[in-house]
A and B are shown apart, each in its own frame.
Chain A
Amino acid sequence: MKIALIGKGGSGKTAIAGMLARTFARSGREVVALDCDANPNLGISLGVGLEATERLAAIRQSLDDGDAEHTPGVEELLERFGVLGPDGVRLAVVTQIDQPNPG
């Protein structure tokens, strides 16, 4: 199945997405969690930790900064830009990051 969560900021999209992903994983499903927010925080709610969450955003950013010759496919995004989190949930940041002036 494919599930998307939308709603106003602060209403709990990310927290609920993280809990759903963990719950499905525990019931034996393979779960891919995609952070489609330009300000990606899903890693925190999934439990991969603050550092890995920041690292994923930075890796995703480097993809845009570099001169990649092709748009990465789904598999490549997951393999190269994903991280394996608790309960076996695989997380990838798939949206372009808003950071025109990284400091």
Chain B
Amino acid sequence: MRVAFVGKGGAGKSALAGTLCRHLARRGQHVLALDLDTMAGLALSVGLGTDSARLPLGLAEHIEGKGWQVKAGLRPARLVDRFARTGPDGVRFLELGKLPGQVEPTVTVAFRYLLERFRRRGWSLVADLAAGTRQPMFGWAGFARTVLVVADPSSKSTLTARRLAKAGVGTHLVANKVQSPADLAAIEAAVPLPLVGWVPYDAGLADAERQGRAPMDAAPDAPAVRAIGELAARLLESAV
């Protein structure tokens, strides 16, 4: 499957994406977790700590009249084998980069190429996009068949989710930090996308985030982690 997470900052994209990766891996999928955000995030939620794994500089070149292109003969699968780190449950991890010197055209062009071209039987791609609307609206979620818009009950979060939905970026809604049926109803009413899952507010998840540990390791039995497991099962059933 090919899944992207978008939404407002703090909605829980990384925690959900990282935990989904772990669940998918435990259900037999090969998983490639991709962090497109320039702020720290997905590596911690997958359980890799602050270890980073990036593509090297120079995999793309600027050609007169054609713009930026990846260098000839570059194979996405080979890039993954060579540069992606291996995390718990065998999840492979790669990030776009965090510092200005790391995110420059040769890296960005190669990363987007990998994102759109990588295909391998039995593998799932799960990408965590930058917070807000900018990156998704520049097409970075276009590789995914399923674009999950994560929203918590705050009106800033649902407003952002609605903007993403109206711009045609999202395919499904995931409600997060739900504390009551009213919360869930408010999120659903505010965002014009089909709800594919909801995750309860969970102090166990918040504690894991505080410690910088993967929810799957720090709180494997937490209700939120179980709810994300159900989401994983649903996504696998619908073969997205």
Contact = CB atoms under 8 A, between A and B. Distances in A.
A38 B168 contact: no
B159 A102 contact: no
A45 B156 CA distance: 9
Contact of B134 (A10, A38, A41, A44): A38
Interface residues of B, number: 20
A37 B156 CA distance: 12
A10 B8 contact: yes
- Binding site secondary structure of chain A: loop
Contact of A99 (B9, B131, B137): B137
B106 interface: no
A-side interface size class: 20 to 34
A1 B160 CA distance: 30
Contacts, number: 62
B27 interface: no
A32 B134 CA distance: 25
A39 B163 contact: yes
Interface in A2-51: 8-11, 14, 37-39, 41, 44-45, 50
A39 B167 contact: no
B155 A39 contact: no
Contacts of B156: 14, 41, 44-45
Interface string B143-156: 00000000000011
B240 interface: no
A64 to B, nearest CB: 13
Contact of A10 (B131, B133, B138, B167): B131
Interface of B: 8-11, 39-40, 131-134, 137-138, 155-156, 159-160, 163, 166-168
Interface of A: 8-11, 14, 37-39, 41, 44-45, 50, 53-54, 98-103
